[in-house]
Structure 1
């Protein structure tokens, strides 16, 4: 087993001595039978007492004050079979045997726990030591670690969100995000930021959870695992278990981490000299004289990058005495090296009655662009107590306050990335003289330049510092429970959990430059409050009959309610630099809104095992939601599962090399309602100035009554095999088929209805796939090498679109067809460049089916170009341990699929937007008849549409990413005088998102293709890529 990798988990579960008295001293050493190496962190306990310790880095232990009448030690370690050893004089030598299956390991599932050996579903557990990363939210840490899961960062801005997919996307219109359950309570992953929505940026409510407080994450993937969450489980469930106190005296743990982030690969843009020459030649080709063309080029660029008036001669050569004085690399100017810091401290402990865990944390993550950062203050208290033999109670409270400053990520003038990739290098950052020297103001300071040919009155360094886009999030998540045991095996548990989320947002446009002068300064204020509470009551019965029949039955009822309030107020005509509404001379129409949603549920589960060999499970849940129509408010969801531990059969018991062989089978249904408006089934009217009657604002129909609007339903079949051989190789293989029916779909309406469409349950899709997990303990000592590989193969298919077919998406890049994928690209096929005249060419399919080329874009035929989703994806993780050193290397890969690079398309405009900067590839533009190139001719104000939507900018997305390298060193126990205070210390260095290798060498974009999302493109493509991050850190235990 992987002793080093499980050391951190072991330390959380071992027992340490708290009862001391006069007596003898017992000492010894614990080693592994496999390789004779010492076992670090094994628990050694005097039987019948709470007196014990853990082994040190050499496997040694010593317990003082052991009573003379004590007879036995209990020795345990995760992944090893527990031993009971007689206490004898002298040094004990204890050898432990591996338990490859770790059969009694308990995993957290819906509304409880289950032994891993008895589990009938498909799930993956990620322990705390694999969650650590520079990311401020835990979801980003899971990328590449769980089969069947795709985690894609929406943006590289601090505190940004992710697209999280479990076994593909099941819905066409509703959300495809999973349900998140924190300490047994289903919670929200809603986007609460109006600023993020308007700026095309991203925020992430999951960043309110401090990753350092997380004990483990369980990803529930099939119906047997997730169906008990009913109408919220169609997209899978992510169960987060936070830390609690462990056996022993109080422990104090402190860790600190420092990081530095910077942009990885950048686009290779034209220099100001090349851009100037290309524009100059374009004007010369239009018949302008040398002087006119120089003037036109400078007018187009709004600046002369040279120190003379006419820097290029008749032939386009630089004249004597001309010197290039401005050549701004805007990507280097906009992107910076951003520091981050993270501090966490916790105190925990446990005795016979009570366990407790208290923590505080502070995180400050800098963004790689100006005015972009994220701060979080967090605190947690988790207390559980056994009041008496029949009554238990506990309280778990988490509070966080975060502040996120963002910058615009749309293709608008306020977007730093858009401007950095669009401003020609001839535009200086600061106002300069004819020699390129900064012109200082009366205070001796440089003055930002706001003159450019792309975005009026903008500067990508200055505007983010002058404007404000700030969001403040407050979250209080609490859970209190009481549990009564009536008699052996029968108990009742009640849980009440409020979840309060508040957002205050401040958006300010300065009155001097950018968008603000239009309003003489503008200020918007937003306030959001979401108060949710969950009340859950369950009865549980568990018993074992005649040592062979195990029964576990649970029945419960749950009520969930959310009240969401929003408030907006805005002002313009601001007084000076005042950023308060009181200083505004005019206002925008204020608005407010309050919505409420409720969900009531009844559910039950039964689990039966015979001889711990044959396991069966069943679940049933009925959900009633306020969202849906009067005739469809209730939905029923169920699951059946079975597993067979084949290696426990008599015919395999004597085959020693088979450690574990288990077959799993399940089918069940679940539902989806996330992403649907709270009053989607009701007839709604709206007030609008569009309906003016005299001086009165009118009322118009906004939504038709839809009494039949109901749940999206999903049925999933899963069959899987878990295996472990020779105590060295292990893994699992799963096949699944997920069918989603009654999907929400906008059905067209006749215009006389007053509305163009109505949302109905009218579509059907499926996802079919394989998941493979393989692991091996390659070397066992003194150098330990463990390898883990996961691979996922998923294919989606549209089965019904309410009788329609070939439905074009509004962005015209995708098409939905029955039998096809919802991620199918649809655009003209690029045919290259006409070598005779340099015109762009596309393929045209004639009426008789023949293919010809055309240089007229409107005549090109739209064709299917392949999917944006990969054929396979996963992660490859190698862990090496030698003495006190540990090294982890993680590679993530994606095979197949395509991405459309909107950004690169904008850089290859061939003169359509004359002065917008271009990629260096544009220097390969056609110039001479007979020339073979893939870049059309350049012409000022080019109207050939050569950069329009086509397969010219579509690329194979196959890539391998070096996701993480981490090197850590555990300090020896003997630290001299520090050993009396410090019981453990660990240092580490790491690098994240180092580089990405692409199979398609034509791709010229950023290393991080996650920003393209599952769709493979973005309508507003200027999201910041995830940066490279280098970190150092230390962990101390007292």
Structure 2
């Protein structure tokens, strides 16, 4: 099956290349024939990205004085030859050039110009605001940047592209999880994930995985979303932007907007791509010669004679066999196939879009394992002739089928000795050994996760008066995840007592939300007023069940639980979350220069105790566009844009579990007299209340040379108090702690910088650069009686929450050859908490990205670098060098003779003094170090064929690369994931986009 998958991938790549060459040849002939075509009339409609017609657009035949303008409905008509190039230009939008060809209708969508901040609008959730006038901190990534990256989860396309937003990929396994932190960790023990909103509907961010935690730990529900369906992603960060979301905005808000239809004739877009992926970096391990030398020296150091029992690798196994198990375990090539088909169009009143997608990705692990995703996204927008009534409906449905196995076996590739015998015989059966667990056992233990996700939103609006509009947003989300883990008898060691079994997990989540709103806007002589008032009603239910079954008569029946002789429900959970709120916004501007924005929300949540279920949140933001002041325009003519803005407010954090303030009980494992008993698991706390985050921000934005150079500098300080932590209780209560609020104070502060430049802007050549840099700082400012709490050895005032308090390793004793450690309190023992004085903060000192985009005629190339300066886990083994496990090659620089100075202790094969010393080293600063890196994250090269015929409106071919190379001093697989998990894969993709 594996060979068939590989062959299919190669065939698709060859087919894509063949079709590309065919189209190039056809376009060459087609364009020659077009030279003889006569002048004809061309008409069309010009709209913005929201499908709204743009009047007054200048339509010009390039190189001539012949042109026209669009009318009030965005329509135009002009006479042109097939070889003519039409130029569409309008103030506030990027100029677009389009070759006529044989077409009689050329519809154009204009993008807001980056250099005209007044024309660029950003999504702020309940409202939109121009980039020029916004008072809050909002970062945005558009579809153009997402589409250039071959990723299966849209979060992977955001890494390094937004200041203040740190995203870490936890695993290279398809369907694996991501960690997202917007301006740091605000809470000590509550959730720190942001709020996700898709087309106005809150989207679940917590994993629904129940039994697949080993292979897809923290599986992100966003993996079910097709990145090609996304129009833009905005991240709200400060209080001005997030306070309108109240209790859900403490950790930031991620707004995802899907693509919609545009005005014009029906357009069909087909995008097909195929690619490969692999692990980019392998660890430099010992070969067999070095490994055997290590083992023999370890026995000699310990004064132990090798035998067939304690040293089969020396006396039984083939000492001439040399296998790099990285090649066997994760050295395969992963293949991806991606096909997207969309149909869109519409007239001035109604626009529609239907998008379907299929994505398949195999793995680098052995066996026939793959990940499949099917998606269908539709959107329809309608407005009445008088523009008073508007309705839109957006739906998204996707199915994920993830066929993997139980565990990530990447670590085994670095632990297996290089002369380990074959682990699978010629018949494909597992070979078991007493010395270790055969990692290929897991490849025989099939894991399958099937996820279905449905998301729908309807927005109705009606203008009662020219200044007053009433609207209602209605949303529904449901997600189902079924997981099945099989343990066939053929995967179990015959000498063990384990029997064939099955684990089945089922989780569902349903949520509905209704948000009626009233919006008022009024323009006065020198000022503008906008008022928004709304309310929210939301309910979310979750339930999950995990079942174990055993006693199957055959491995072929493992998927049928009714064939088991014993079936047990080992976990069953149900929760209901109800949420209600009223929110509002007042925005007032004077002379378009002085702007104030007030937002507020009163929230009610079922997650908090009686008397604490409601709380108030709000913020104020102000901005001064000082570049519009007459004295600035005269004295600083080179300054094209200047704005000072600031905000302060309070948001909340309800990212906690349901019912945590209540008494809870669990069933006993063993029945008493035939009855199942209950025992308490949590104590009631009526004072259980909200965590609150007070956010302060100040920013300066500058533009030079007609905004060809844009510089933004932001300082923020977020302080989160009323922390929900576990307060210790005396043992007589029967509980170790109770979850309660504590006046502990966590601060996240930092600086964010953005620089955007247009280096070259000519007819056939454009070059732009974008740079962002974040310098975060996380501190625990207050914690009452920290010294006497259970967290005394975990946290420290004025240090990060990621603090690691460890022993300090002094190095290798030149006399004994074993690691030694600093005895801080000089009590002669290395165990007292007083000896844990080496402090490491596993956090980012700074991070960011650099993007360069170059367009020359029909060519487009984009290059993006991601960089991170951080401290993390160094690449170290759990076993001392000399044990029957392979080691990184640097261990050969070990201590051998008395008096030698080295950083690697002597080899040992037992838990003697050196073995114990290595075990203790795992509790020291030995395991931490610099894990910084600079990564060529993405390269995209595309070419628009100079082809304009009856068959296609546009043809583009492209190549994309992801995670191409990494510059780092880290010795392990990857400095981002660290440890032994499968790292993000290096990917290469070739594709073609056809527009009909």
With the shorter chain as reference, the TM-score category is 0.7 to 0.9
Q: Give 1:961 deviation, angstroms.
A: 1.3
Q: Is the 8 A contact 2:186 2:746 kept in 1?
A: yes
Note the alpha carbon deviations across 1:204-226, whole angstroms, 9 max, x for none: 11012111111111111101011
- Residues matched between the structures, number: 920
Alignment-derived partner of residue 982 in structure 2: 1024
Asked if structure 1 preserves the Cα contact closer than 8 Å seen for 2:59 and 2:89, the reply is no
Structure 1 pair 841–204 and aligned structure 2 pair: CA distance change class (3 A): same
Partner residue, 2:872: 899
Partner of 1:803: 785
Matches within 5 A, 1:409-808: 409=407, 415-430=408-423, 440=426, 445=427, 447-451=429-433, 453-455=435-437, 458-460=438-440, 463-514=441-492, 518-546=497-525, 548-577=526-555, 578-579=557-558, 580-654=560-634, 655-674=636-655, 676-689=656-669, 693-727=672-706, 728-762=708-742, 763-781=744-762, 783-805=765-787
Change (3 A) 1:758 1:328: same
1:379 and 2:369 aligned: no
Mapped to 1, the partners of 2:411 and 2:954 lie a distance apart of 48
Q: Distance in 2 between matches of 1:30 and 1:190?
A: 56
Q: Matched residues in 2 for 1:59 and 1:14: separation? A: 26
Verify the 8 A CA contact 2:445 2:491 in the aligned structure 1: no
Distance in 2 (CA, whole Å) between partners of 1:521 and 1:169 is 43
Name the residue aligned to 1:339.
335
Matches of 2:475 and 2:640, distance apart in 1: 42
Match of 2:29 in 1: none
The answer on whether the counterparts of 2:823 and 2:829 sit within 8 Å (CA) in structure 1 is no
Write the distance in 1 (CA, Å) between the matches of 2:780 and 2:773: 24
Match in the other structure for 2:288: 272
Q: How does 1:802-881 map to 2 (within 5 A)?
A: 802-805=784-787, 815-846=794-825, 861-881=835-855
After superposition, what is the alpha-carbon deviation per residue over 1:308-356, rounded to whole angstroms, capped at 9, x for unaligned? xxxxxxxxxxxxxxxx1x2221111011110001111111113121011
Aligned to 1:173: 189
Q: Does 1:123 align with 2:158?
A: no
Distance 1:294 1:783, change over 3 A: farther
2:766 touches 2:855 (CA, 8 Å); kept in 1?
Answer: yes
Q: 1:431-452, CA deviations, whole angstroms, 9 ceiling, x for partnerless residues?
A: 6xxxxxxx64xxxx45543326
How far off is 1:658 after superposition? 1.4
Quick one: which of 881, 887, 896 aligns to 2:861?
A: 887
- 1:996 maps to which of 966, 974, 981: 966
Query: How far, CA to CA, are the matches of 1:610 and 1:54 in structure 2?
Result: 46
Distance verdict in 2 for CA 1:682–1:627, change over 3 Å: same
- Residues 42-81 of structure 1 aligned to structure 2 (within 5 Å): 45-47=70-72, 50-51=75-76, 60-61=85-86, 75=90, 78-79=93-94
Whether the 8 Å contact between 1:219 and 1:237 is mirrored in structure 2 is yes
Mapped partners of 1:475, 1:773: distance in 2: 36
Listed as ranges, the gaps of 5+ residues in structure 1 are 1-8, 19-24, 32-37, 63-72, 83-95, 307-323, 410-414, 432-438, 849-853, 1013-1020
Give the secondary-structure state (helix, strand or coil) at the position aligned to 2:308: helix
- How far does residue 74 in structure 1 lie from its aligned partner after superposition? 7.8
- Contact 2:245/2:601 (<8 A) preserved: yes
Q: Deviations over 1:174-229 (max 9, x none)?
A: 11111111112222112001123355734211012111111111111101011101
Counterpart in the other structure of 2:361: 365
**Deviates most, 111-120 or 466-475:** 111-120
Change (3 A) 1:588 1:418: farther
Q: Does the 8 Å CA contact 2:210/2:507 hold for their aligned counterparts?
A: no
Pairs within 5 Å for 1:298-337: 298-299=311-312, 303-306=316-319, 324=320, 326-335=321-330, 336-337=332-333
**Contact residue 16 and residue 249 of structure 1 kept, 8 A:** no
The alpha-carbon deviation at position 12 of structure 1 amounts to: 4.2
What TM-score does the superposition give when structure 2 sets the normalisation length? Answer: 0.87
* 1:183-194 aligned within 5 A: 183-194=199-210
Matches of 1:230 and 1:110 in 2, distance apart? 13
- Work out the CA distance in 1 between the residues paired with 2:123 and 2:249: 16
Q: Per-residue deviation at 1:817?
A: 1.1
TM-score in terms of structure 1 length: 0.84
More off after superposition, 862-871 vs 754-763: 862-871
Distance 1:1034 1:56, change over 3 A: farther
How far residue 699 of structure 1 moved from its aligned partner, in angstroms, is: 2.0
Quickly say closer, same or farther: Cα 1:1022–1:957, change in 2 above 3 A: closer
User: CA 1:604–1:588 in 2, change beyond 3 Å: closer, same or farther?
Assistant: same
Distance 1:523 1:97, change over 3 A: closer
Deviation, 1:982, is 1.3
Which segment is superposed worse, 445-454 or 479-488? 445-454
Contact 2:200 2:473 in 1 (8 A): no
In structure 1, how many angstroms separate the alpha carbons of the residues matched to 2:591 and 2:217? 55
How big is the shift at 1:681? 0.9
- Contact 1:301–1:427 (CA<8 Å) still a contact in 2? no
Distance 1:671 1:15 in 2: 37
CA contact (8 A) 1:857 1:945 kept: no
Question: How far apart are residue 527 of structure 1 and its match?
Answer: 1.3
- Distance in 1, matches of 2:533 and 2:833, equals 64
Q: Choose which of 255, 270, 291 in structure 2 pairs with 1:254.
A: 270
For 2:720 and 2:190, how far apart are their aligned partners in 1?
12
- Equivalent pair of 2:405/2:443 in contact (CA under 8 Å): no
Cα distance in 1 between the residues matched to 2:413 and 2:983: 14
Summarize deviations over 1:358-388 as a string: whole Å, max 9, x none.
1000001222223553211000110111245
The answer on whether the counterparts of 2:211 and 2:485 sit within 8 Å (CA) in structure 1 is yes
Q: Distance in 1 between the 2:473 and 2:83 partners?
A: 44
Deviates more, 1:856-865 or 1:279-288: 856-865
- CA deviations on 1:478-508 (whole Å, 9 max, x unpaired) are 1122212111121111121110101111111
What is the distance in 2 between the residues matched to 1:928 and 1:43? 88
Q: Distance in 2 between matches of 1:717 and 1:586?
A: 58
In 2, Cα distance between equivalents of 1:57 and 1:758: 77
- 8 Å CA contact 2:266–2:346 kept in 1: the answer is yes
Match of 1:932 in 2: 901
Structure 2 alignment gaps of length 5 or more: 1-45, 98-110
Q: Distance in 2 between matches of 1:257 and 1:234?
A: 39
SS at match of 1:421: helix
User: Matches of 1:54 and 1:124 in 2, distance apart?
Assistant: 42
Other structure's SS at 1:428 match: coil
Conserved 8 A contact 2:547-2:571 = yes
* Contact kept? 2:269, 2:995, Cα under 8 Å: yes
Instruction: From the superposition, tell whether residues 286 and 633 of structure 1 become closer, same or farther in structure 2 (CA, over 3 Å).
Output: closer
Partner residue in 2 for 1:315: none
Change (3 A) 1:302 1:638: farther
Per-residue CA deviations over 1:905-951 (Å, capped at 9, x if unaligned) read 325x134xx21222222222212112221111112213333242222
